[in-house]
Amino acid sequence: MSDLRMNSIFGAVLASVLGVMGVGVAADMIVESNYPEKAGFLPEVAVEASGGGGPATPAGPPDFGRIFADPAQLAELVTRGERVHAQCVACHNFDAGGSNGIGPALHDVFGRAVGSHGGFAYSEAMAGHGGTWDYLTLNDFLTSPARYVAGTKMAFAGLRNEQDRVAVIAYLRSLSPNQVPLPAALPEAAPAEAPAEAATPG
C-alpha cells in the first residue's frame, strides 16, 4: 500500500474524530445542562407482601418499653446510634451547651418541647407543631421529617431503617439530661395457632 493511500486513510480517520468532537462541543454550548438541587417529589413505592396478597401493611411503632428495658441491648443500641449520628453532625451540634448550626443543637432534645430551642429560627410549621420530643415523636419525625412536619426546613430524607432509627433515639436519650420515662411495653402478639390436622380415614 502506497504512502499516499496510507496518508489519505489516516487523514480521513482524523477528520472524522475531530468532526465528532466538534459536534459534541457545539451541542454542549447550545444545550445547557440544568439539574434541580432537590427533586420535585419523592416517589412512593408500594412494597408487595411476600405471599402475593397485595401491598404490605405498615408495621407499628418500635416497642421502646421492651427494647430499652434490656440494659445490654440498650448499650449496643447507644453504640450503634453514636455511629449512625455521624451523618447528622454537619447540621447539628450534640455537645452540652453547644451552639446551633444549620439545625438546632440536640444535646438536650429528648423531652424538650418541639420547636423551642433558644436562638434557633424554626420554620412556622415546626414552631407551631406543639408536643415534646419523646420516643414515638422522635421515631415518627426521624422516619420522614418532611412528612411528619410538612413545611419543615430540614432537608434530611429520614432514617428508613428502623434499627438505625431506634439506635439514634437511644443515643439521643443517653446524651440528654431530660430523662423521659420509658413507655409501657406493648402487648406481645399471641402465637399463631397451628392448623388442625386432617382427620385420617377410619
| pLDDT digits 0-9 by tens, 117-166 | 999 999 999 999 999 999 999 999 999 999 999 999 888 889 999 999 99
> Which residue(s) pair with 55 in the sheet?
48
CA atoms within 13 A on the CB side of 66: 7
Domain assignment present for 129: yes
Question: For 95-104, 119-128, 183-192, which range has the lowest pLDDT when averaged over its residues?
Answer: 183-192
User: Residue 51: which residues within 8 A CB-CB, separation 6 or more?
Assistant: none
Domain assignment present for 91: yes
- Sign of the CA dihedral running 168, 174, 178, 183: positive
Domain assignment present for 103: yes
CA 102 to chain CA mean position, Å: 18
Q: What is the CATH number of the domain that holds 130?
A: 1.10.760.10
Number of domains present in the structure of the chain: 1
Domain assignment present for 10: no
Q: Quick check: 47 pLDDT over 70?
A: no
Q: How far is residue 149 from each of residues 15, 130, 131, 155, 187, measured CA to CA in Å?
A: 60, 11, 12, 11, 29
Using DSSP, state whether 36 is helix, strand or coil.
coil
pTM, to two decimals: 0.64
Domain assignment present for 74: yes
